[in-house]
Amino acid sequence: MKELIAKRVAKELHDGDLVNLGIGLPTLVANYIPEDIQIYLQSENGLIGLGPEPTKEEFNRNIANAGGVPVTVLKGGMFFDSAFSFALIRGGHVDVTVLGALQVDQNGNLANWIIPGKLVPGMGGAMDLVTGSKTVIIAMTHTNKGEPKILKKCTLPLTAKGQVDMIITEMGVMKITKEGIVLTEINPEYTVEDVRNATEAELIIDDGLKRMEI
Amino acid sequence: MINKIIDKEAFKAVLKDDMTIMFGGFMACGTSDVLVEAICESGIKNITAICNDAGFEDRGLGKIIKNGQVKKLYASHIGLNPLVGKMMSEGMLEVELSPQGTLVERIRCAGAGLGGVLTPTGLDTDVELGKCIIKVQGKKYLLEEPLRADLAVIRGRYVDRLGNVVYEGTARNFNPVMATAADLVVAGADEIVETGKLGQECIATPHVLVDYIVKEEI
C-alpha cells in the first residue's frame, strides 16, 4: 500500500525539481522517480543530491540524512550549513515537499508534529518546509486504522495553516481548492462511497474523475 | 602565537554549573564526542542546552541529558530519543521546541548582532503564542528573538593550529552558525593540521571565532 502511494507521488515530480522527502513513507518516493526526468533531493540537514544507502565501502559517518541514517551523495551534489538549508526552504527554492500527516483538513491545514500528552516529537523542519515549499503533497494512508485523518477541521495543533496542495492516499488523489477537497483520481479497488466513508471532510468529486495512475 | 590546542582535562576547567551550551550536530552527526564525554565526566549541573535535537541516548547530547545534567533544552526535534520525551513528561527536563529553520536563524541573529528574525514559519500555530507579529510589505511575520550561549561545542573534520575549521559532509549543519553565537567556542578536531594546509576557500569557520581546539579520540 505504501509503495502504491509512493509510486503515485513520484508522478507529480517534474524534470529539474528540487524536492524534499519526509521521513517514513515519503522516503519511498525516491525509488519510483521516472527514468526520463532528473530531480534533486534535498535533505534539510545540509545537502542536495541525496543518493541511495551506502555500500560498506561508500559509508562515511559524516554523510547522513535528516533521520540520522547514513546516505550517499550523487554527482553534482553539495553540502551546506543549516542556515543556508533553511534559506532554501523558506525562500521558496524547494519545488515540492512530500510529507506524512496525522490530520489534514479541507482548508489545507496540516497537523503532523504533536499529539498533546501522548507524542511530542517536535516539528523539526516540517513547519518551515510546509510554509516555504512551492507545492506541498501529503502522502499517507487514508485513515488511521479506520479513523479518518482527512477532516473538516484539524483537532490537533497545526503545523501550518492553508499550505497543503494535494493529498495522495491508497484510495486516490485529492486536490485542495478554495471550494474544498476535490477527488481527482480514484483507486479502482474502491468506490466513491468507500472514499466518502473514510473521509470526514466534504469530498467534491471531480467531473473528470480518473482512475488512479499507478 | 597563542596555543589553542588543549586536552580534555583543560577543557573541563572552563565548565561551570548553570552554563548555557550550544552543541553543533544533527542526530549526533557533527557533534563532538570528546567534548560531550568531558562534560559528562565534569558532572556540571543545570545546563541549558541548545541543539537541533536530543541526539541518541548513547551518542551526542543525549548522553549528557541521560546523565541528568541538563535543566532546559532548546531543540527542534526530540522524537528519536524516547528518554527525553519521558524526562520531559515527568518534569525532569524543560524543553522548548522551535521550528528547525527558526532555531538556526535565532542563533545566527545572536552571532550576527541582529535583534531577531522575522519568519512566516509558525504563524497560526502554537509557535506564535506569546510572540510579536509584525507586518512587513503587507505580509505577516513572527518576531523570533536571538539565542546566545556561554559556550559553543563544535566539531570539524580538519582544524588547523590557528583554529580554522573545515567540515565534512552533513556534519557541518549547525556548527558554523553556533561558532558565531557563544562567548567561548571550543572545536573538537578529527585531525589537527599545520596552519596553511587547509584550502582557503574551504574554511567554513574562520580561526578568529575559535578559542580552543581539542583532538577527538578516534
**Phi/psi-derived region of residue A150, left when phi > 0, alpha when psi is between -120 and 50, beta in every other case:** beta
Give contacts of A 113-172 with B, CB under 8 A: 119-128, 131-132, 157-161
Spacing of C-alpha B21 from chain mean position: 7
Tens digit of pLDDT per residue, chain B (218 long)? 789 999 999 999 999 999 999 999 999 999 999 999 999 999 999 999 999 999 999 999 999 999 999 999 999 999 889 999 999 989 999 999 999 999 999 999 999 999 999 999 999 999 999 999 999 999 999 999 999 999 999 999 999 999 999 999 999 999 999 999 999 999 999 999 999 999 999 999 999 999 999 999 98
For the segment A200-213, the average pLDDT, to the nearest whole number, is 95
Which candidate from B123, B125, B170 shows the least CB-CB separation from A157? B125
3-state DSSP call for residue B4? coil
Among the listed residues B45, B78, B43, B86, the one whose alpha carbon sits nearest the alpha carbon of residue B62? B78
A86 touches B at CB < 8 Å? yes
Which pLDDT value is given to residue B148? 98
Residue range A24-41, pLDDT digits in tens: 899 999 999 999 999 999
Cell 485542495, residue? Answer: A176
Structure ipTM: 0.96
Which candidate from B28, B97, B204 shows the least CB-CB separation from A123? B97
Classify domain A2-211 at the CATH superfamily level.
Glutaconate Coenzyme A-transferase (3.40.1080.10)
Q: Which domains does chain B have, with CATH numbers?
A: 8-114+146-215 (3.40.1080.10)
Which pLDDT value is given to residue A22? 92
H helix intervals, chain B? 8-12, 33-42, 62-66, 82-89, 100-112, 175-178
Which candidate from A66, A79, A127 shows the least CB-CB separation from B121? A127
Question: What distance in Å separates residue B13's CA from the closest CA in chain A?
Answer: 29
Give the CA radius of gyration of chain A.
Answer: 17
Return the active site residues of A: 44
Answer whether residue A23 shows pLDDT above 90: no
Contact B105 A44 (CB under 8 A): no
Q: What are phi and psi of B88, to 5 degrees?
A: -65, -45
Report d(CA B142, CA A148) in Å as an integer. 32
For the segment A53-62, the average pLDDT, to the nearest whole number, is 94
Question: What distance in Å separates residue A62's CA from the closest CA in chain B?
Answer: 5
**Phi/psi-derived region of residue B97, left when phi > 0, alpha when psi is between -120 and 50, beta in every other case:** beta
Which pLDDT value is given to residue B38? 98
Disruptive mutation site among A43, A127, A156 for chain B (greatest number of B CBs within 10 Å) = A127
Our separate counts of H helices and E strands in chain A read 4, 15
Which pLDDT value is given to residue A117? 83
Q: Which three three-digit cell numbers place residue B42?
A: 565534569
Sign of CA dihedral A52, A58, A63, A67: positive
Which pLDDT value is given to residue A137? 98
C-alpha distances in angstroms, A65 versus A43, A47, A99, B76? 6, 8, 15, 16
Among the listed residues B61, B127, B44, the one whose alpha carbon sits nearest the alpha carbon of residue A114? B127
Question: What distance in Å separates residue B1's CA from the closest CA in chain A?
Answer: 30
Disruptive mutation site among A42, A81, A118, A120 for chain B (greatest number of B CBs within 10 Å) = A81
Which pLDDT value is given to residue B45? 98
Which pLDDT value is given to residue A208? 95
A22 touches B at CB < 8 Å? no
Give B123's contacts in chain A (Cβ within 8 Å): 131, 160-161
Which candidate from A65, A81, A161 shows the least CB-CB separation from B172? A81
Answer whether residue A46 shows pLDDT above 80: yes
Q: Which three three-digit cell numbers place residue B68?
A: 541528568
pLDDT confidence of A128, banded at 50, 70, 90? very high
Question: What distance in Å separates residue B147's CA from the closest CA in chain A?
Answer: 14
Give A80's contacts in chain B (Cβ within 8 Å): 172
CB atoms within 10 A of CB A207: 7
- List beta partners, residue A203: A181
Residue range B166-215, pLDDT digits in tens: 999 999 999 999 999 999 999 999 999 999 999 999 999 999 999 999 99
Contact A81 B169 (CB under 8 A): no
Query: Are the C-beta atoms of residues A25 and A51 closer than 8 Å to each other?
Result: no
